[in-house]
Structure 1
Amino acid sequence: MRRLLLLFAALCIALPSLAQVVRLKLDDTIQPVSEEYISRGIDYAAEHNAQAVLIELHTPGGLVTSTRAIISKILGSKVPVIIYVYPTGANAASAGFFILESADIAAMAPGTNTGSAHPVSLAFGVAQTKEDDTMKAKIENDLAAFLRSYVSKRGRNVALAETGVRESKAFSDQEALSQNLIDVIAKDEQDLLSQVNGRTVKRFDGSTVVMKIAAAPITDYDRSLKERLLGFLVDPNIAFLIFAIGAIGLYAEFNHPGAIIPGVVGTVCILLALFAFHFLPIRYAAVTLILASFIFFALEAKFATHGILGIAGIACLALGGMLLVDGPIPEMRVKWEMALSVSVAFGLITVFLMTIALRARRNKVTTGIQGLLGQTGVARSPLSPTGKVTVMGEIWDAASLVPVAAGEPVVIRGIDGLTLRVEPVAQSVAAREVVLQR
């Protein structure tokens, strides 16, 4: 019994040393994939009784909906959350500022910055109406109120934090620390854990936690394969490129049925692009422009417009690509270089393929029975009106309304079953000359 008690006491002493800090790395735009990753990471930390969650943050911003979801998860976390803008040179701009301020402990590395959280609306030179200004004001007020709702409970500088939303103010690490926007400046993770160790943190629900993490090992929580794949696909430039490749593949399959490979590749690419678009804010007007570009490409190949419709198609596709994703930051929009290069290449390839297809359909059939029409042959026997003719090395039954002597050349004008309807070449030439004279 005494040995059991000693063993239990030893375990009680050893258990604290097994505490861990779960580290998540958010080095990307804020979008649904980031939201899922952070949510799973916080749940993992809670399930494994971690002492803290350390989120290393470096982001230019992202979607408001995903930002709200991440902040909601942080505020409701059972495990204290430390958000650390790291490494040196990193920033937590726009949505990153909102996330940083939601942390139980907000920290920055030397040489980092945060702020510039004013909501962005894309106008692209279009005059703003009074309704647009009203909507912008409503969005700004809503985000400012959202920020105040948790910054005040974290005991940070509410008025200054609000200027990051209303006036797009940005702050260096020293400015953020001196004006009570963050709690710590640390050069690396170990320095951060040392400074935070022993602090009493007031949780969002009002409870307090004493941080004992100085010697806690840091356990990385990596993204799943699905999250890495989606993170690659939701890049608007990648999604748009995959969509264009898919469209070319399907078009090639439609014009050359049975090729199989272009159809399979095109279908897979289109499905991947649509899946990525599901996670992005898509403009339906831009989709209409892209569809219009396909129509222009088809018409350019069908009618001789000397490239006018082709240029119109390229312009529609480029403009549709640039406007396709209504991202709040440049990193979440299709770059004009990508849109233009894809549009020009797509337009040229599409017009080229369609031109070949239309020419092939207009060409005279040269194989099978239909390929015999217009061909010349030689009468093997007199046709009066029926007999035998030799055409392309084959002997056929033939009939002529005009008597034809053996050895006389004939031209095929029709086919009745397995009998050719022919006429003398001399008569055919004479008839053509009469038409030309008229």
Structure 2
Amino acid sequence: MRIRSGQWCMRCFANRFFCRRWLYLLGFVLCPCEFAFAQSSVVLSLKLDGTINPATAQYVHRGIEQAVQQRAEAVLIHLNTPGGLLESTRQIVGDMLDAPLPVIVYVSPAGAHAGSAGVFVTLAAHLAAMAPGTNLGAAHPVSMGEQVDSVMNAKITNDAAAFIRTIAEKRNRNFSWAEQAVRNSVAITETEALHEHVIDLIADQDADLLRKADGKRVVLAGGDTITLHTAHAILQPLPMTTTEEILSLISDPNVAYVLLLLGMFGILFELYNPGGVLPGIIGVICLIVAFYAMNALPVNYAGVGLIIFSVILFVLEIKIASHGALALGGIISLLLGSMMLIKPDSSFDVVRLSWSVILFSVVLTAVFFFVVIGIGLKAQQLKPVTGIQGMIGERGKALTDLSPAGDVLVHGERWHAVAEGGPIAEGEIVEVIRVDNLTLHVRSVASSS
């Protein structure tokens, strides 16, 4: 059947008309979903639970960079720290002040606190919040080992006070209280912090924090003022990588100190017992990891030198009869080196060697060298009991007359022997004085006595 051109045009028009109606209807249905999707934002969540060290500084830097790449609404840092390294704190604060998006610091959960370096991080946030039952403060820098004089202590305190005052003024917070936290180690609760204009709000949980932060206006590094839209934001956790977790663990000066001692012990044990292999491998690994950790810590290499010198003194005590003088010098050197291992002008109070770890290490080191290596060296000095050299000093019986050569019975075996010091009659008891190839040189026990 032929179709007229007019009929074909009418059918095309009808098909196009109905297709457009279905497209309009589909767009009307999907429009609210698309609008809701566009309104949902992402807040990247970081967790700082423990001391502030180079690993945590790297973690925060990576988190801010990833949030910028994802076009996140903000970065949320859950903070619970007793303090940490000043250099790492400066890196974190610098990243927060220069961040192109809002950074929210939330001292949580209940019972958490932001002490020492944590105060600097909290005050540097665009929006600072605390959970009920938390506290903030006590940011006075202290010594991490050796004592410092009053002039050096004043320099350290003044530098930290100027640093925290700059942060507080930048974020329009109570810089007077911030300076008191450094100079007088004052601390406050979450309600007092809100009243003193140190933080911006108190929130029970993450959802409550995001709801209360919604609509807040913050000023970014470039001077732009933006409004937070976090009421319906999706919280996306960003955990530490395995490398950052390992670095955070070994950044503890107590762990680095123990690894240093274990490394030296392992290598020394391998040198005194060649062929063990495993102690040497473990020692080298421990030393490399220890030096890697110390590269991230404010290490005083005079302390490292004293620790190595103490090991040398312990070894000399075993080889030289000094009546304990070298051992006493080794103990004193190890104590002084341990106290000086961490520089006293680069941290807030938690980053230091524990006295319990130092004392335990000193006692264990003394026992190790006096008992273990001492026994090993004494065993090496014992006369051989097997092989040809083990024949020296052994006694036997002359089977023939030795004038000077003959045969003897030693260890139940017949040996060719040569008499020294005079002829030996058959049946006499002889003693081996040396071995020349397979010939024994003997002497009569009766004549020698």
Correspondence list, 1:148-163, <5 A: 148-163=165-180
Q: Take 1:397 and 1:16, find their aligned partners in 2: how far apart are those partners?
A: 103
Give the counterpart of 2:292 among 275, 293, 298. Answer: 275
Give the counterpart of 2:372 among 326, 350, 353. Answer: 353
**Alpha carbons of 1:114 and 1:303: their partners in 2 closer, same or farther (altered >3 Å)?**
same
Q: Take 1:174 and 1:260, find their aligned partners in 2: how far apart are those partners?
A: 60
Q: Partner amino acid for 1:267? A: V
TM-superposed deviation, 1:289 = 2.8
Q: Deviations over 1:357-391 (max 9, x none)?
A: 22123212222222222222222222222222222
Q: Which has the higher contact order (CA 8 A, sep 6+)?
A: 2
SS at match of 1:38: helix
Partner of 1:250: 267
Q: Does 1:16 align with 2:38?
A: yes
Give the counterpart of 1:119 among 137, 141, 150. Answer: 141
Give the counterpart of 1:53 among 48, 69, 75. Answer: 75
TM-score scaled by structure 2? Answer: 0.86
Q: Take 1:121 and 1:52, find their aligned partners in 2: how far apart are those partners?
A: 36
Partner of 1:339: 358
Give the counterpart of 2:258 among 223, 232, 241. Answer: 241
Give the counterpart of 2:283 among 251, 256, 266. Answer: 266
Q: Partner amino acid for 1:278? A: N
Q: Does 1:366 align with 2:385?
A: yes
Q: Take 1:46 and 1:300, find their aligned partners in 2: how far apart are those partners?
A: 61
Give the counterpart of 1:226 among 233, 236, 243. Answer: 243
SS at match of 2:104: strand
2:145–2:343: 8 Å Cα contact kept in structure 1?
no
**Alpha carbons of 1:330 and 1:309: their partners in 2 closer, same or farther (altered >3 Å)?**
farther
Partner of 1:170: 187
Q: Deviations over 1:19-56 (max 9, x none)?
A: 11111111111110110111111111111111111101
Q: Deviations over 1:98-153 (max 9, x none)?
A: 11111111112223222322332457556x2xxx61x4444444333333434323
Q: Does 1:296 align with 2:313?
A: yes
**Alpha carbons of 1:329 and 1:141: their partners in 2 closer, same or farther (altered >3 Å)?**
closer
TM-superposed deviation, 1:273 = 2.2
Deviates more, 1:53-62 or 1:400-409: 400-409
Q: Take 2:382 and 2:41, find their aligned partners in 1: how far apart are those partners?
A: 78
Partner of 2:400: 381
Q: Deviations over 1:137-192 (max 9, x none)?
A: 44444333333434323222333323333343333322322222221122222221
Q: Does 1:413 align with 2:433?
A: yes
Q: Take 1:161 and 1:393, find their aligned partners in 2: how far apart are those partners?
A: 90
Q: Take 2:417 and 2:320, find their aligned partners in 1: how far apart are those partners?
A: 41
Q: Take 1:339 and 1:40, find their aligned partners in 2: how far apart are those partners?
A: 35
1:83–1:106: 8 Å Cα contact kept in structure 2?
yes
Partner of 1:428: 448
Which structure would you say has the larger Rg? Answer: 2
Correspondence list, 1:18-57, <5 A: 18-57=40-79
Q: Take 2:297 and 2:143, find their aligned partners in 1: how far apart are those partners?
A: 15
TM-score scaled by structure 1? Answer: 0.88
Q: Take 2:434 and 2:46, find their aligned partners in 1: how far apart are those partners?
A: 79
Deviates more, 1:220-229 or 1:408-417: 408-417
Q: Partner amino acid for 2:359? A: L
Q: Take 1:380 and 1:115, find their aligned partners in 2: how far apart are those partners?
A: 93
Q: Take 1:241 and 1:306, find their aligned partners in 2: how far apart are those partners?
A: 29
Deviates more, 1:82-91 or 1:117-126: 117-126
**Alpha carbons of 1:22 and 1:342: their partners in 2 closer, same or farther (altered >3 Å)?**
same
2:141–2:157: 8 Å Cα contact kept in structure 1?
yes
Partner of 1:404: 424
TM-superposed deviation, 1:82 = 0.4
Q: Take 2:284 and 2:68, find their aligned partners in 1: how far apart are those partners?
A: 41
2:139–2:348: 8 Å Cα contact kept in structure 1?
no
**Alpha carbons of 1:248 and 1:162: their partners in 2 closer, same or farther (altered >3 Å)?**
same
Q: Deviations over 1:234-272 (max 9, x none)?
A: 222222233333333333322222222222222222222
SS at match of 2:350: helix
Q: Take 1:80 and 1:305, find their aligned partners in 2: how far apart are those partners?
A: 66
Q: Superposition RMSD on alpha carbons, in Å?
A: 2.6
TM-superposed deviation, 1:322 = 4.0
Q: Take 2:300 and 2:203, find their aligned partners in 1: how far apart are those partners?
A: 42
Partner of 1:435: none
User: Number of residue pairs matched?
Assistant: 424
Q: Partner amino acid for 2:423? A: P
Q: Take 1:146 and 1:233, find their aligned partners in 2: how far apart are those partners?
A: 28
1:151–1:157: 8 Å Cα contact kept in structure 2?
yes
Residue segments in structure 2 that go unaligned for 5+ positions in a row: 1-19
Q: Partner amino acid for 2:92? A: I
1:60–1:92: 8 Å Cα contact kept in structure 2?
yes
Deviates more, 1:158-167 or 1:194-203: 158-167
Give the counterpart of 1:71 among 49, 68, 93. Answer: 93
Q: Partner amino acid for 1:351? A: F
Deviates more, 1:269-278 or 1:103-112: 269-278
Q: Does 1:285 align with 2:302?
A: yes
TM-superposed deviation, 1:287 = 1.7
Give the counterpart of 2:211 among 186, 194, 204. Answer: 194
Q: Partner amino acid for 2:354? A: K
SS at match of 2:118: helix
SS at match of 1:152: helix
Q: Partner amino acid for 1:145? A: A
1:326–1:333: 8 Å Cα contact kept in structure 2?
no
